[in-house]
Amino acid sequence: MKIAKSLLWMLAGALLCFSGEHLWKLQAVHAQTPFGSEAACVTHIPKAWGQFKGASEYGLTFEDENGKLRFVKSPSCSENYYTHPLGTPTIDLMMERR
């Protein structure tokens, strides 16, 4: 009985040492933002094109105050618009109401 008790205490001690070793190795995890503060691509859309209405297979859609829809499929891209401004993107499709 004394040997079984000693063996049980040794097993409990080994288990405590093993679990304690893993507890000491735990490192604090800090949340990181998935994106930086600046976008990788910046484009310029004129205010005259109106409000952004959404995106579809035809591209990004903008509607002006007269109901004219402009679709831009591939907007021009710059790493930093403020230091390297680009021209207005090409309109791939325009729809007017008559």
In 13-66, at which residue ranges do the beta strands (DSSP E only) sit? 51-56, 59-63
The span from the CA of 77 to the CA of 55, in Å, is: 17
Distances in Å between the alpha carbon of 78 and those of 15, 16, 34, 51?
A: 58, 58, 21, 22
Q: What are phi and psi of 42, to 5 degrees?
A: -125, 135
- The reported pTM is 0.54
Output the pLDDT for position 88.
75
* Tens-level pLDDT at each residue, the chain (98 residues): 677 767 667 766 666 666 555 555 556 666 656 656 666 677 788 899 999 999 988 899 999 999 999 999 988 776 655 655 666 788 899 999 87
In whole angstroms, what is the distance from residue 73 CA to residue 54 CA?
12
**Separation CA 52–CA 34 (nearest Å):** 25
Nearest to 64 by CA among 82, 80, 46: 46
